């Protein structure tokens, strides 16, 4: 039998800071950019009851880890449940099984922050956030560790939500955090824009974006999701987390391609290629850059590896037994 460490969501909560998540995810994307492999997610959808079952994988040899994320969302429970198996990339042994719920906005936020660090201007001081949910919070928590923001402006359609968001982060960050009455007002003169919504129509317009801005869009993981308009994609240096994912389900990119404003060659690089130093990031101060974050196994496995090592050092978790196939198939 193989001893596997089971880690519950509440054990993982608070085990690492946003900055530590960013560092772990940076190592993961560097490993992927050098010699790793990853595939876009597979999504199986159900109309009745409405829901989806999703999974994605990554192998990160430099990090020594591989594994993935499987979750179901919707259906009769109207909720989501995240399972994360982690394996040793050298031996293939299963090391841990994580309940990935609490880490989700942290690892996703860390990916967006990593993109800001390699694509945004070094002198960026103003950030706009479109959205006020858990993912928007995760994005801002992490992004504030890679740039010293002086001002953060937030917009979401519900006034009470954006006000509560602004009050929370005004206390948490050194920056002046204020709610805005429109997305256009939030992004005016912004250096960094974060969109974290479930929008099917663009929430940010190209005409409102200043030269030199970096945009991290993390709600474009479906052909029907479009946080950015086609003109923004055409104007920008476009970087997805995975090149293959851009052609599978990156809604705004696919809409721009369908409109004839971009072609397949418009994908500048994958994030891992830039992090690993194989492709350039920003090359000019007035350049507009877009990072399209739809979720991959890269940040998931990298963050899980950090949490696993930290939990093991602290004697956390419960040991459970898994049967190796050699034993289960032979009965020995």
pLDDT grade for 220, boundaries at 50, 70 and 90: low
> Looking up tokens 């050298």, which residue turns up?
90
Please give the average per-residue pLDDT across 236-248, as a whole number. 96
pLDDT tens column, 67-104? 999 999 999 888 889 999 999 999 999 999 999 999 99
Give me the pLDDT at residue 328, please: 74
Residue 116 CA, distance from chain mean position: 12
DSSP 24-84: HHHHHHHHHHHH-EE-PPEEEEEETTEEEEEEEEEEETTTTEEEEEEEEEETTTTEEEEEE
Please give the average per-residue pLDDT across 258-275, as a whole number. 98
Where in the sequence of the chain do the CATH 3.30.1780.10 domains occur? Answer: 2-104+297-330
Which of these, 175, 173, 213, 177, lies nearest to 195 by C-alpha position? 213
pLDDT tens column, 95-114? 999 999 999 999 999 999 99
Helix (H, G, I), strand (E, B) or coil at 196: coil
Output the average pLDDT for the chain.
95
Give me the pLDDT at residue 221, please: 67
Where in the sequence of the chain do the CATH 3.40.50.720 domains occur? Answer: 112-292
Give me the pLDDT at residue 323, please: 86
Give the CATH number of domain 2-104+297-330: 3.30.1780.10
pLDDT tens column, 35-71? 999 999 998 999 999 999 999 999 999 999 999 999 9
pLDDT tens column, 143-176? 999 999 999 999 999 999 999 999 999 999 999 9
Asked if 50 and 74 touch (Cβ cutoff 8 Å), the reply is yes
Other beta carbons within 10 angstroms of residue 160's beta carbon come to 10
Q: How far apart are CA 63 and CA 252, in angstroms?
A: 32
112-292 is classed in which CATH architecture? 3-Layer(aba) Sandwich (3.40)
């Amino acid at each position: 039998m193989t001893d596997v460490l089971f880690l519950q969501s509440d054990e993982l909560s608070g085990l690492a800071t946003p900055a530590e998540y960013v560092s772990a995810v940076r190592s993961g994307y560097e490993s992927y950019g050098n010699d790793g492999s990853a595939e876009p997610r597979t999504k199986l959808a159900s109309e009745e009851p409405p829901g989806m079952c999703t999974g994605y994988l990554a192998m990160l040899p430099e990090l020594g880890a591989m594994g993935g994320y499987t979750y179901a969302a919707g259906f009769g429970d109207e909720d989501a449940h995240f399972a994360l198996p982690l394996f040793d990339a050298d031996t293939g042994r299963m090391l841990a099984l994580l309940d990935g719920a609490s880490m989700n906005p942290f690892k996703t936020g860390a990916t967006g922050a990593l993109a800001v660090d390699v694509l945004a201007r070094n002198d960026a001081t103003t950030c706009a956030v479109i959205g006020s949910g858990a993912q928007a919070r995760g994005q801002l928590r992490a992004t504030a560790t890679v740039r010293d923001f002086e001002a953060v402006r937030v917009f979401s359609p519900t006034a009470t939500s954006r006000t509560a968001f602004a009050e929370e982060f005004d206390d948490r960050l050194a920056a002046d955090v204020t709610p805005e009455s429109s997305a256009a007002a939030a992004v005016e003169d912004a250096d960094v824009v974060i969109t974290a919504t479930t929008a099917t129509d663009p929430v940010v317009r190209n005409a409102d974006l200043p030269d030199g801005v970096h945009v991290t869009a993390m709600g474009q993981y479906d052909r029907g999701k479009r946080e950015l308009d086609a003109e923004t994609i055409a104007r920008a240096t476009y970087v997805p987390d995975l090149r293959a994912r851009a052609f599978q389900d990156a809604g705004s990119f696919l809409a721009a391609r369908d409109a004839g404003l971009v072609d397949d060659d418009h994908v500048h690089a994958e994030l891992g290629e830039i992090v690993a130093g194989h492709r350039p990031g920003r090359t000019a101060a007035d350049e507009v850059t877009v990072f399209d974050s739809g979720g991959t196994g890269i940040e998931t496995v990298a963050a899980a590896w950090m949490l696993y090592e930290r939990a093991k050092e602290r004697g956390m978790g419960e040991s459970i037994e898994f049967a190796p196939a050699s034993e289960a198939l032979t009965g020995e």
